[in-house]
Chain A
């Protein structure tokens, strides 16, 4: 057994995934830029952060869930009216953003590339 890592793409998919895990366990959500044709995210901080976050998450208890959501291509995200920015549940300011769902703990941009901070987010209650 290991903590559960779920990959979803786009707004509807993350809402659905959150709904599926509602109330059952400790849920974290990571928002990153989508992969380009070159196979990596268009967002450099996301490229750095993803392996650090995935590695740190492996230390979590089995009932913890990390929903890794790709928000879309660069132009979609950069639009100030992007639904990830405006939706009251997410109110994202940046990618990458790592948050504990339903709690105020949140890391943004280069904070997500600091293993110490990422560990702390997964450990903090």
Chain B
């Protein structure tokens, strides 16, 4: 109670000293070192930070979480829970689902449903439903922190030294707090290019899910999974959508799969411009945004051979994200980061430990780690158990399954084909693949051309190195197979499993055609 009383008090330097003595006197002795206000302060109330703080508190430690959302250039802010809850996984999956529903309604007539030829979608109703759910999650996180006696401060944390932090609230009130240890879990935010009009007129994924009016004709800049997912569901909701990419789609993912994702999006109605870089966004008198871009038909890096332009109602920038580390004053604490990217470099012995022994980092801010909510949660919990429960288990960042929620979902675990070939050599890699047709696509005559599965194996022992699934419910499909891959399963073990008929997932088990054989990979019949 003493700690929480003091949190909201503004103190001058002299008073601060007295006050600290006072709190030291009244605070009951606990297992931690009492020379600090807290055993642990977590900076960032996202998935990783919340998980870590709650775990530490449950292990009897005095914990505080600082969470503060810098408004986006368009002024969007949100509540406790971080990117995933507010402007990431949760709203995008709901909007993806809204788009899939539209698709299902289109095909329903062929299944006998009497549905109107023209269906209308209300963006306002969708945003209302999504935002309402997000608000309930924000509240749920606040209740959970309170339940576990974690102090929550809606304040921006900046280091003063390796054991001291300054917490600044929106109204400018400053509080100095000390802790034995810190966890940096500040995550990432969208990047903005140096382009006229970008910050003034463009939106990012920070703004899209709470957009008050329908986005209308939309330009999505970028080919990250964020870009493609947003472009996918906006197209599905009926908007005219153009994706503008500079070079390759889904960098870091298997490129054959990425190209199939793009093919599917194009067949689904998304316009895709490649080798294009936007130059300028101007607001017209009509309120529309005039975008000018350079086109390089010879591919990335080739000479610019044309300038082009068009008008859009919304420009969504999704060119990448950058870690929120630059204003933490990491240098005064002595924490080393990659100067050019802002990522925090974990130590060799313990991925989450920074260059300062009592300061840790989890989640997206860590260099070379998957930027995924469940990864941050797991890393945060394991870290708290190592710090406060004598546990020894470390986060295993290998073979993390994930899914891109484009209209046709792409789920994968393990190595891409190109990475497997690079690591093991082409002669040592066997790739099984199949083009399959989901049963439920047949009656409504839906496009199945990109429904494709690929299993990348070691040629010697048939160990599965990577599994890639493009099709409906890929997230649900790949989760279970992720377990097999994590356990080091071989193709032989996988094919020993009996399939569940009729499903798309059974096609993973039935695959038998290798790329090397050159045989037709199309699945026929049962």
A: which residues have CB within 8 A of B?
103-107, 111, 114, 116-117, 120, 124
Contacts and interface: CB of A to CB of B under 8 A. Distances in A.
Nearest to B80: A124
B146 interface: yes
**Residue of A105, A106, A107, A114 ringed by the most chain B CB atoms within 10 A:** A105
- Interface bracket on B: under 10
A120 to B, nearest CB: 6
Contacts of A104: 132-133, 135-136, 139
**Residue of B136, B143, B146 ringed by the most chain A CB atoms within 10 A:** B143
Contact of A117 (B132, B133, B146): B146
Contacts of A105: 139
Contacts of B143: 107, 111, 117, 120
A124 B141 CA distance: 12
* Chain B interface main SS type: helix
Contacts of B136: 104
B97 interface: no
Contacts of A103: 135
Given A116-B146, A117-B146, 6 more contacts: A104-B132, A104-B139, A106-B139, A111-B143, A114-B146, A120-B143
B146 A124 contact: no
A25 B155 CA distance: 28
B132 A124 contact: no
Nearest to B131: A104
Interface string B96-137: 000000000000000000000000000000000000110110
8 contacts: A103-B135, A104-B133, A104-B136, A105-B139, A106-B139, A107-B143, A116-B146, A117-B147
A90 to B, nearest CB: 15
A75 B117 CA distance: 50
A119 to B, nearest CB: 9
Nearest to B135: A104
**Residue of A103, A107, A114, A124 ringed by the most chain B CB atoms within 10 A:** A124
B142 interface: yes
Contacts of A106: 139
B38 to A, nearest CB: 17
A105 B143 CA distance: 9
Contacts of B135: 103-104
A26 B135 CA distance: 16
Nearest to B132: A104
Interface in B135-164: 135-136, 139, 142-143, 146-147
A87 to B, nearest CB: 18
A104 B134 CA distance: 9
A104 B147 CA distance: 18
B332 to A, nearest CB: 33
B11 to A, nearest CB: 22
**Residue of A104, A111, A116, A117 ringed by the most chain B CB atoms within 10 A:** A104
Nearest to A114: B146
Interface in B199-226: none
A117 B135 CA distance: 17
A116 B146 CA distance: 7
Contacts of A114: 146
Contacts of B147: 117
Contacts of A111: 143
Contacts of A120: 142-143, 146
Contacts of A107: 143
